[in-house]
Structure 1
Amino acid sequence: MPIVDSDPVGQRAPWPTLTHKASSAPAKRRILETANTLFYGDGIRSVGVDRLISESGVTKATFYKHYGSKDRLIVEYITGRDLMIREFIETIIANAPTPEHSILALVDMIVTAIEGPGFRGCPFINAASEFTDPRHPVRQVVADHREWYAERVGDVFRAAGHPLPGDAGDEFILARDGAMTGGYAGDSIAATTALQRAVERIIADTHR
């Protein structure tokens, strides 16, 4: 049976769906959305081009027209994740009444992700584990994302009056990493509870 350009059906990932601007080709958008689901759920290297094509509901010619190779799609996938999370975090921070509320709202975001359906850990840690060369474009996106995240949280702690905001940002990211990993590999309730306790201790330093 020939492949036709129809809407793909995939399991919902515990993150907002990656999308192109409305002007982008619908087929290209479907390929990226399918990659977002499959790469996160099953691992990047384990998902082949044929499966991407099949579950996107596009032809092989359409896939290569828009992406050229799986490697290019992988980089766009992780870059899209980066941009999506940055925008999401900035929205949370902007909508919080105080810096301390921003931190607590970020914790709630992490807890919601961990407790959500289809959670499989941090997509950036997962991607880094599959691409061991730190010079690889995927690792560069991951490194940039983590550096931005720690600095942005540090900015919030600085606004809250923390005496060592940079250290606080690093500690927050470490606690977040542990919760994301433990929440997937072990007891999600224990992981999220430990995250909340750790962040409460970091916040407490602001009031000393």
Structure 2
Amino acid sequence: MNRSQQTEPLERLLHCTEQLIYRGGICATGMDAIVKASGVSRKTIYKYFGTKDRLVAEALKRRDLRWMAWFEMGLERFAGPKAQLLGAFDLLAEWFGSADFHGCAFINTAGEVCDPEDPVRQVARAHKEKLQRCLTQRCSQLGADQPQQLAGQLLLLIDGAITNALVSGRSDVAADARRVAETLLVAEGL
């Protein structure tokens, strides 16, 4: 079997796993559903990933790359670091209003895994660290005295808005979070 013949089923497997897990969660998504949706045999899945958690972790890594690219590209629509930090909440509002919004895949899956060393939890942690670095960069460009601390506060607002939008079904919570972010930036003298 050549590399492209191997890659295609694995790509399909990771895509299907990501979609199923994002919509239904890890526990609610059985291996039978993954096998059926992807067309990849259980034997092949375990050959390449060993465990369901490792499969889910790899699917989440792909989601992280795609989500961060979407977020970074979206921020570029706004001119300057302050507009980008506040514009992040405008991006969230668009996402919250979309038909495929089911909350943050990383918060959702991390909440299903107890062990902090589980591969799923590690991917979720890495995603949040990457998002904080993205925000820290803009806080530094803006001239914040403590850019990492400010970025952490903004990340709390982002995660809170995502969670609230999922639970309440309201996309307008992003506008509320944006107003709090504006107040925070003013309090920082930015």
CA contact (8 A) 2:132 2:155 kept: yes
CA spacing shift, 1:92–1:23, aligned 2, 3 Å? farther
After TM superposition, give the deviation of residue 91 of structure 1 in Å. Answer: 2.8
CA spacing shift, 1:53–1:188, aligned 2, 3 Å? same
After TM superposition, give the deviation of residue 25 of structure 1 in Å. Answer: 1.9
Q: Which residue of 2 aligns with 1:198?
A: 180
Residues 1:118 and 2:100 are matched in the alignment: yes
Q: Which residue of 2 aligns with 1:176?
A: 158
Could you list the runs of 5+ residues in structure 1 that have no partner in the other structure? Answer: 1-21
Task: Report which structure shows greater RCO (CA 8 Å, sep ≥6).
Answer: 2
Query: Which amino acid in the other structure matches residue 162 of structure 2?
Result: M
Correspondence for 2:111 among 121, 129, 153: 129
Tell me the TM-score normalised to structure 2 length.
Answer: 0.85
After TM superposition, give the deviation of residue 94 of structure 1 in Å. Answer: 4.7
Q: Distance in 1 between matches of 2:138 and 2:14?
A: 32
Q: Distance in 1 between matches of 2:136 and 2:95?
A: 22
Alignment size in residue pairs: 187
Q: Distance in 1 between matches of 2:130 and 2:100?
A: 26
Other structure's SS at 2:117 match: coil
After TM superposition, give the deviation of residue 193 of structure 1 in Å. Answer: 2.5
Q: Distance in 1 between matches of 2:57 and 2:45?
A: 15
Tell me the TM-score normalised to structure 1 length.
Answer: 0.78
* 4+ aligned runs moved over 4 Å, structure 1: none
Identity over aligned residues, as a percent? 28
Q: Which residue of 2 aligns with 1:4?
A: none
CA contact (8 A) 1:179 1:192 kept: yes
After TM superposition, give the deviation of residue 130 of structure 1 in Å. Answer: 0.5
Q: Distance in 2 between matches of 1:70 and 1:78?
A: 12
After TM superposition, give the deviation of residue 51 of structure 1 in Å. Answer: 0.8
Question: For the aligned residues, what is the CA RMSD?
Answer: 2.3
CA contact (8 A) 2:157 2:177 kept: yes
After TM superposition, give the deviation of residue 58 of structure 1 in Å. Answer: 3.4
Q: Which residue of 2 aligns with 1:97?
A: 79
Q: Where do 1:19-38 residues align within 5 Å?
A: 25-38=7-20
